[in-house]
Chains A and B, each alone.
Chain A
């Protein structure tokens, strides 16, 4: 199922550098989300979008920004990466109230 594509799949970056993760969907879903997954924490919401140019913060948004200029693309930017942002990042979309999210394959980001 290639409905959601995350890029890159893996990235190693240095502390202090900006990083942008991309989520691209072909489902025409209105709602899109960025989560991070860390051991012992499950998945935590970073930012979400409920339409083009409509975004809002989640519970762990500090140090992150997002943009959504088209329905199909939702970008997550780490303005100045820190080691605490080493994580697996998942993008998800959602459309049907009685169904779960559709998740991307995840991006493993390591900040050294």
Chain B
């Protein structure tokens, strides 16, 4: 079974509008972390935002926020005031397990990505 599911292969949004990219996850661990990455056409992977499973507040980083709904196992990325430079592939990822010790520490599971296109 997929640990990370991104159901939107492609999304379109007009410049200056907000957009939500969906992500659901599957884990039986109580402690885990959720991440979003951006991959522009140049190919590099850029870390955007992190949410820990015990964090009570939704994570925010500038125009990015993570809408964390633990009971629904969803971690949607919200981009406010979209810009043309936001056009890219976006990946949701999860780290399972508690912090500290263990060889699997840090291993990430990635979704298949959502291609976001921002139009003027």
Please give the residue numbers on chain A whose beta carbons come within 8 Å of chain B beta carbons, in ascending order. Answer: 31, 33, 35, 40-45, 48, 50, 54, 56, 58, 88, 90, 92, 94, 97-103, 105-106
| Chain B stretch 44-95: residues in CB contact (< 8 A) with chain A | 44-45, 47-48, 50, 52, 91, 93
14 A-B pairs with CB atoms under 8 Å apart are A31-B106, A43-B93, A43-B110, A45-B107, A48-B106, A50-B106, A56-B103, A88-B43, A97-B33, A98-B52, A100-B50, A100-B108, A103-B44, A103-B45
Do A54 and B103 touch across chains, with their CB atoms under 8 A apart?
A: yes
B interface residues, tally (CB under 8 Å): 25
Contact of A105 among B43, B48, B109 (CB under 8 A): B43
Contact of B44 among A42, A50, A97, A105 (CB under 8 A): A105
Q: Which residues of B contact A40 (CB under 8 A)?
A: 112
Q: Which residues of A contact B50 (CB under 8 A)?
A: 98-100
Give the number of residue pairs across the A-B interface with Cβ within 8 Å.
61
Give Cα distance in the complex from A98 to B35, angstroms: 9
Q: Which residues of B contact A43 (CB under 8 A)?
A: 91, 93, 108, 110
